């Protein structure tokens, strides 16, 4: 039988770097093996799989590997040399011929434009990653690696490592008032994965419609809609989401909220509304999805406890290391009611990715050693200083701009005169400043957040994003971009 797929590295042979000793060649097709070999080599060179200068195996080696006569390979090499695909020199062997660089674009043609990186970045949603605790993380990783049992590097429990779940249960109970059993915690590779998992579980359980705040992140809505859930918007006012509307919408059986610090308007859910939404969930059998995305960062008020502590059987608590440490870790967690754990794990087991074991063990060590608390305290002080700098800069140079949502979190809302948001963002772009407007986070042209951001036009300024050395320059660029006072 003719051998149509072949590699020049024989069984057990280790290909040598730079010799072209690993060739995957399809010799099938019309014309016999000689024509097939020529065609396969020509295609490999044309496609770039064999780069210019790559040395090919000798005719004897390739013939032996392919089970061909040496003369067949030598003839194929000779024809490709004559065509200019290969070169052959004494002492240098047979190599892929060099090719001319691509021609420069003809005069008058326009090369593709590359987006210019902004000089300053005040977009919300990201912590100051330059402050990642490298030394503490490295030290914790060494301790975690030294103490890790051998089975830690086997197949991962869908819940996540027990060490991390236990550490999280203790920390969340102490710092956020969460009633958590390690067996009801599921570690995820980011908040969106957890939201997607839970949304699909709810859809399989018959939920068709979910309440969402009228301001939020578009990709959270996309995750819900991909799972087959229809989003029903809840208006935002100075007391947070209008959860009373849930009782009027009979089809809504779940709701996604950011009750401690609504994103992006910054208002917390009023205590009366917190009680009302918990009562709705208990009375109707509904599910509350609580996104506690920046729960550690409070400045001018006492920390707002989580909803989950009020009704652990009706609330799914979402937490993340993205704001406290760095989004690149891809570490988040859900604290689930017991009746949802089995379904979530079954779905996660069916092909969902998991966070790396070493990162989980390192975070567990960081939590149990107290290094995580020390880092959060240091970052809380850093972000508070930045918030105070932002407020002082605006008071000095743009006193007509009202700032809200600053008692907590990593961003502030700047109210703009009606109709000026787009022009302000364009002015910021000219200053090399990346900014985002309030309208970007409003779904479906919802009602104006008059209690949080003036008449609806506004900026969401992420003071957590820039490194320290760039913050003063970012504030100056922001002030230059703002509309003048009346």
Do 53 and 95 form a contact (C-beta atoms < 8 A)? Answer: yes
Q: What is the CATH number of domain 120-125+374-481?
A: 3.90.1150.10
SS3 (DSSP) at 147: helix
Q: Is the C-alpha dihedral spanning 151, 180, 126, 220 positive or negative?
A: positive
**Is a pLDDT exceeding 80 seen at residue 331?**
yes
What pLDDT score was predicted for residue 450? 40
Give me the residue spans of the domains in the chain: 5-96, 120-125+374-481, 133-369
What pLDDT score was predicted for residue 106? 54
Give Dmax (Cα) for the chain: 89
**Going along 235-360, which residue ranges are E strands?**
236-237, 240-241, 252-257, 287-291, 315-320, 332-335
Do 118 and 432 form a contact (C-beta atoms < 8 A)? Answer: yes
**Is a pLDDT exceeding 50 seen at residue 455?**
no
Binned at pLDDT 50, 70 and 90, residue 10 comes out as very low
Binned at pLDDT 50, 70 and 90, residue 18 comes out as very low
**Phi-psi map region of 40: left, alpha, beta (phi>0 left; psi -120 to 50 alpha):** alpha
What proportion of the chain, given as a percentage, has pLDDT over 90? Answer: 56
What pLDDT score was predicted for residue 104? 52
Binned at pLDDT 50, 70 and 90, residue 118 comes out as confident
Q: Look at strands 332-335 and 240-241 and give their pairing.
A: unpaired
Task: Indicate the CATH number of 133-369 among 3.40.1190.20, 3.20.20.70, 3.40.640.10, 1.10.630.10.
Answer: 3.40.640.10
Name which residue leads in pLDDT, 351 or 299.
299
**Rounded average pLDDT over 272-289:** 95
> How many beta carbons lie within 10 A of that of residue 395, not counting itself?
11
Task: Indicate the CATH number of 5-96 among 1.10.287.3510, 1.10.10.10, 3.40.50.2000, 1.10.1060.10.
Answer: 1.10.10.10
Do 152 and 361 form a contact (C-beta atoms < 8 A)? Answer: yes
C-alpha to C-alpha distance for 73 and 65, rounded to whole angstroms: 11
Which H or E run contains 5?
strand 5-7
What pLDDT score was predicted for residue 341? 94
Peptide bond into 141 cis (omega under 30): no
Do 252 and 241 form a contact (C-beta atoms < 8 A)? Answer: no
Model pTM? Answer: 0.75
C-alpha to C-alpha distance for 401 and 409, rounded to whole angstroms: 20
DSSP 232-246: EEE-EETTEE-GGGG
For the segment 152-191, what is each residue's pLDDT rounded down to a tens digit?
A: 888 778 899 999 999 999 999 999 999 989 999 999 998 9
C-alpha to C-alpha distance for 61 and 71, rounded to whole angstroms: 12
In 3D space, the residue among 93, 104, 94 whose CA is nearest the CA of residue 45 turns out to be 94
SS3 (DSSP) at 468: helix
**Rounded average pLDDT over 5-31:** 52
DSSP 171: H
For the segment 370-393, what is each residue's pLDDT rounded down to a tens digit?
A: 999 999 999 999 999 999 999 999
**Rounded average pLDDT over 257-274:** 92
For the segment 433-442, what is each residue's pLDDT rounded down to a tens digit?
A: 999 999 999 9
For the segment 194-222, what is each residue's pLDDT rounded down to a tens digit?
A: 999 999 999 999 999 999 999 998 889 89
SS3 (DSSP) at 375: helix
Binned at pLDDT 50, 70 and 90, residue 247 comes out as confident
**Is a pLDDT exceeding 90 seen at residue 101?**
no
Do 181 and 334 form a contact (C-beta atoms < 8 A)? Answer: no
Residues whose CB is less than 8 angstroms from the CB of residue 307 and which lie 6 or more positions away in sequence, other chains included: 257, 259, 269, 274, 277, 278, 288, 290, 315, 317
The per-residue pLDDT of the chain, averaged, comes to 86
Q: Which residue shows structure tokens 């999280």? A: 168
């Amino acid at each position: 039988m003719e051998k149509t797929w072949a590699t020049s590295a024989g069984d057990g042979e280790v290909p040598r770097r730079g010799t072209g000793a690993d060739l995957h060649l399809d010799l099938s097709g019309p014309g016999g093996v000689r024509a097939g070999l020529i065609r396969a080599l020509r295609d490999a060179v044309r496609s770039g799989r064999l780069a210019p200068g790559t040395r090919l195996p000798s005719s004897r080696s390739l013939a032996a590997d392919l089970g061909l006569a040496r003369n067949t390979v030598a003839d194929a090499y000779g024809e490709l040399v004559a065509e200019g695909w290969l070169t052959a020199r004494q002492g240098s062997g047979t190599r892929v011929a060099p090719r001319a660089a691509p021609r420069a674009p003809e005069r008058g043609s326009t090369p593709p434009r590359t987006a210019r990186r902004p000089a300053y970045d005040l977009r919300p949603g990201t912590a100051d990653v330059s402050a990642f605790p490298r030394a503490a993380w490295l030290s914790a990783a060494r301790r975690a690696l030294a103490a890790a049992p051998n089975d830690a590097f086997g197949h991962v429990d869908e819940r996540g490592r027990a060490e991390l779940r236990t550490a999280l249960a203790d920390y969340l109970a102490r710092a956020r008032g969460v009633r958590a059993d390690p067996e009801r915690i599921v570690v995820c590779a980011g908040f969106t994965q957890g939201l997607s998992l839970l949304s699909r579980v709810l859809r399989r359980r018959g939920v068709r419609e979910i309440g969402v705040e009228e301001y939020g992140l578009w990709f959270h809505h996309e995750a819900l809609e991909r799972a087959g859930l229809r989003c029903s918007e809840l208006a935002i006012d100075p007391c947070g989401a209008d959860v009373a509307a849930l009782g009027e919408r009979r089809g809504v059986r779940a709701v996604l909220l950011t009750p401690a610090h609504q994103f992006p308007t910054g208002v917390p859910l009023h205590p009366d509304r917190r009680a009302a939404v918990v009562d709705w969930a208990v009375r109707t059998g509904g599910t509350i999805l609580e996104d506690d995305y920046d729960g550690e960062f409070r400045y001018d008020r006492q920390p707002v406890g989580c909803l989950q502590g009020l009704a652990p059987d009706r609330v799914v608590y979402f937490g993340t290391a993205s704001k406290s440490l760095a989004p690149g870790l891809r570490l988040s967690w859900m604290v689930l009611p017991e009746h949802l754990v089995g379904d979530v794990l079954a779905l996660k087991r069916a092909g969902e990715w998991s966070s790396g074991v070493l990162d989980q063990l390192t975070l567990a060590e960081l939590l149990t050693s107290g290094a995580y608390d020390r880092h959060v305290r240091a970052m809380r002080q850093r972000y508070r200083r930045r918030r105070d700098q932002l407020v002082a800069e605006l008071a000095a140079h743009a006193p007509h701009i009202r700032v809200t949502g600053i008692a907590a979190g990593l961003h502030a809302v700047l109210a703009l005169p009606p109709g000026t948001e787009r022009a302000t963002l364009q002015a910021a772009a000219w200053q090399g400043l990346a900014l985002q407007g309030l309208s970007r986070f409003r779904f479906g042209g919802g009602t104006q957040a008059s209690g949080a951001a003036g008449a609806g036009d506004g900026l969401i300024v992420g003071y957590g994003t820039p490194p320290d050395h760039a913050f003063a320059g970012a504030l100056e660029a922001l002030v230059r971009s703002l509309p003048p006072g009346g």
